[in-house]
A and B are shown apart, each in its own frame.
Chain A
Amino acid sequence: MSSSLHEESGSGGETLRLKLPNRFDALEAARLSVLRFLAPHQPSPRALYAVELVLEEALTNVIKYAFRDGDSHEIDLTVRIEADGIVLRFEDDGVAFDPLQAPEPRAPSTIEEAVPGGLGIALLRRHCSSADYRRLGGRNVLTVRVSSA
């Protein structure tokens, strides 16, 4: 099965650009590309886990909520290595959708209270040092920074 993932690396190996289709079956190829790109920089296991979690939650949200027309769309993912962290930028041309607006679920004290909604973004926030959403030129731009410590 072709991955239909378009990949390019910036000079010096500090930036990875991926274009992936808005399909759940594209997530695994994207994850592996990002891991391959990060490997030479030897991020800590904690930083790698955070990157994988951010990828999973951010991409799942975009694929689920940003596109209403049932068409194929592309998601632009840029991964950049900086001195103290890894910056992941997700860009798409879907409807205006700010995943960071979802209210945080309250920590449940009983199983009946456990509400699945909003958990993905709540976890994303816990695994990044900053997250920013903008709507720019008709595109959603979500920028997340993971500390490399």
Chain B
Amino acid sequence: MEMAASELAGNVVCIRLNGRMDAEGAGRIDVPFTASVSAVGRTAAIDLSGVTFIASMGIRLLISAARGVRMKGSKMVLFGARPLVQDVLEQAAIDQIIPLVATQEQALDVLGR
């Protein structure tokens, strides 16, 4: 599991995730991911297009990042999930609590940029 952060217009950090968000993958990026996403005053767009697999530990990581974002008064949006990953996110009702859209453009729209 790898992550790469870049800046998008409007003080949005875009975090691109690559690989398997299984227990091992989620554990590997836990600290840097949470730190990048929950930084004060940032909004975050999480690019899931490189994620080939997600299960409960990866979802826990997304939930805890979303909590951190909420506590800092920021926003986070997920985008680009592959179909089978999207299915799992919907089964866990993640789309009910974290915006989940198809493209980076839509993510920026949700973030109001």
Mark A residues whose CB is within 8 Å of B: 24, 27-28, 45-46, 49, 52-53, 56-57, 60, 107-114, 116, 119-120, 122-123, 126
What's the interface size class on B, roughly?
A: 20 to 34
Q: How far is the CA of A120 from the CA of B91 in the complex (A)?
A: 11
Main secondary structure of the interface of A (DSSP, over half): helix
Could you write out 23 A-B pairs with CB less than 8 Å apart? A24-B23, A24-B24, A27-B23, A28-B24, A49-B53, A53-B55, A53-B88, A56-B57, A57-B55, A108-B93, A111-B67, A111-B70, A111-B98, A112-B67, A114-B63, A116-B63, A116-B64, A119-B59, A119-B92, A120-B56, A120-B57, A122-B92, A123-B56
In the bound complex, residues from chain A placing their C-beta under 8 Å from that of B97 are: 108-111, 113-114
Interface 0/1 of B14-37, CB less than 8 Å to A: 000000001110000000000000
- Picked from B57, B67, B88, B98, the residue with its CB within 8 Å of the CB of A60 is B57
- The verdict on A123 contacting B92 (CB below 8 Å), with A45-B84, A56-B22, A116-B63 known, is yes
Q: How many A-B residue pairs have CB under 8 A?
A: 66
In the bound assembly, the distance between CA atoms of A113 and B67 in angstroms comes to 10
Complex alpha-carbon distance, A6 and B84, angstroms: 31
Bound Cα distance A53, B96 (Å): 22
Interface assignment of B66: CB less than 8 Å from any CB of chain A: yes
Report the minimal beta-carbon distance from A119 to chain B, rounded to whole angstroms. 4
CB-based contact B84/A49 at 8 Å: yes
Q: Which are the 4 A-B pairs with shortest beta-carbon distances?
A: A120-B56, A107-B93, A119-B56, A116-B60
Chain B positions within 8 Å of A116 at CB level: 56, 59-60, 63-64
